[in-house]
Amino acid sequence: MALVTLKQIAEKLGISITTVSKALKEYPDVSKKTRKLVRETASMLNYKPNSFAVNLRTKESKIIGLIIPVIVHHFFSSVIKGIVAQAEKKGYLVIILQSNESYELEKKQIDLLLSKRVDGILISLANETADFKHLNQVISQETPLVMFDKIAKIVKCSKVIIDDRKAAYKATQHLIDIGCKRIAHFRGPLLPQNSIDRFLGYKKALIDNNLEYDPSLVYICECGEMSFEEGKKNASQLLKDHKDIDGIFINTDLVAIGAMTELIKQGVKIPEDISVVGFSNWFMASIISPSLTTINQPGLEMGKNSFKLLYKEIKERKKKKTINYKELVLETELVIRDSTKN
């Protein structure tokens, strides 16, 4: 049996399609009795209203698009979970696309979502993305847009972020407080705003504490994608370059775990010889040994709040209200574990 149509309901009841259609929309010019009968028949036949027809009328798809750099990643999958849960509460479905950290792909995906007439777009930028025409196009077409985590400061839309600079400062200050004097930083890829801000937070903490800022202690990830292997590579390079390191602040936990694995392999004691602080508080951070001191990054909260801001804009545009873009900064906290001396 294929999908049930209004026609079939009408035939079954011996009334006109218009009456069926009106009855399902609870038009008062159809008698209560008929409306009840139509509703019952429709549900008996398991009738489903045609969303696309509905879309043409209301100009709403009740579908939003989400573009995310990587899916297989604890932080981002937590964000996805938060977005999907919140969207479902409001009756929205979420289309998920992965940009693979590629600017070209990201651009294509924006076009695709716009052509699908989604009600709004949520995006966390690819590491490669340095040009924002595609985002301004979304805005100029009056499609609600919210950026989260990896954002472009100059794009005028609502944003949900953490204060990466402040968090990185906190992480580095902790290393200084426990006595570290030569602190390296694995900053990850060059472009993304959060890499830049974490680096700046690290640098400021050093300067504020009258410690020398030595650029040769900052390791950049060329590959563009932060990985466990990247952490191992950087750590073994660091041990070759500098013998006097006593602390490392690492851009993300996965890389930090890779780095610790390499350090331990090479006989370095953590935290006795080198203290390590990561970023994100991926749950593995508490499980590995030594457990990893890190910055807690609230992925689920970021997802929920990103959808809430998008939903707010969708409603405001529907009511033709003026849109007030909001930048929401979520709190982060330092979680102290065994990878840093107490």
CB nearer to its own copies: give 99 or 172. Answer: 99
C-alpha angle 302/194/240, rounded to 5°? 130
Tokens encoding 20: 């069926």
Segment near its own copies (CB under 8 A); pick from 22-30, 111-119, 177-185, 203-211: 111-119
Which of these segments, 175-183, 186-194, 210-218, 283-291, binds its own copies (CB under 8 A)?
Answer: 283-291
CB contact set of 213 (below 8 Å; sequence gap of 6+)? 203, 206, 207
Q: How far is the CB of 171 from its own copies (least distance, A)?
A: 22
For its own copies, give the closer residue by CB, 129 or 173: 129
- Considering the rule CB under 8 A, would residue 263 count as an interface residue with its own copies? no
Question: 99 or 173: whose CB is closer to its own copies?
Answer: 99
What minimum distance in Å lies between the beta carbon of 104 and its own copies? Answer: 13
Residue 335 touching its own copies (CB under 8 A):
no
Query: In the block, which residue shows the tokens 């690492």?
Result: 250
User: Minimal distance in Å, beta carbon 27 to its own copies?
Assistant: 21
Q: Give CA separation, 1 vs 6, 42, 43, 117, 262, in Å.
A: 15, 15, 15, 30, 60
**Contacting residues for 315 by C-beta, under 8 A, at least 6 apart:** none
Q: Does 71 bind its own copies (CB under 8 A)?
A: yes
CA distance 30 to 281: 59
Binding mask 4-43 for its own copies (x = CB under 8 A): ----------------------------------------
User: Binding mask 210-249 vs its own copies (x if CB under 8 A, - otherwise)?
Assistant: ------------------x---------------------
Q: Is 219 exposed, middle or buried (0-12, 13-18, 19+ CB in 10 A)?
A: buried
**Which of 141, 216, 322, 342: binder of its own copies (CB under 8 A)?**
141
DSSP H or E stretch at residue 103: helix 103-115
Residue 44 lies near its own copies (rule: CB under 8 A): no
Residue in the block written with tokens 């013998």:
243
Beta carbon of residue 110, minimum distance to its own copies (angstroms, whole number): 11
Phi-psi label, residue 288: left if phi above 0, alpha if psi -120 to 50, beta otherwise: beta
CA distances from 2 to 46, 65, 88, 188 (A): 11, 29, 27, 53
- Bridge partners, residue 219, by sequence: 186
For residue 271, cis peptide bond before it (omega within 30 degrees of 0): yes
Please identify which residue in 12, 22, 39, 81 interacts with its own copies, judged by CB under 8 A: 81
**DSSP 3-state assignment of 132?**
coil
Asked if 51 interacts with its own copies (CB under 8 A), we say: yes
304-323 positions binding its own copies, by CB under 8 A? none
Single residue of 35, 74, 107, 159 touching its own copies by CB under 8 A: 74
Taking CB under 8 A as the criterion, the residue among 15, 37, 95, 176 binding its own copies is: 95
Interaction site with its own copies (CB under 8 A): 1-3, 46, 48-53, 55-56, 61-63, 71-74, 77-78, 80-81, 84-85, 88, 93-98, 111-117, 137, 140-142, 228, 257, 261, 283-284, 287-289
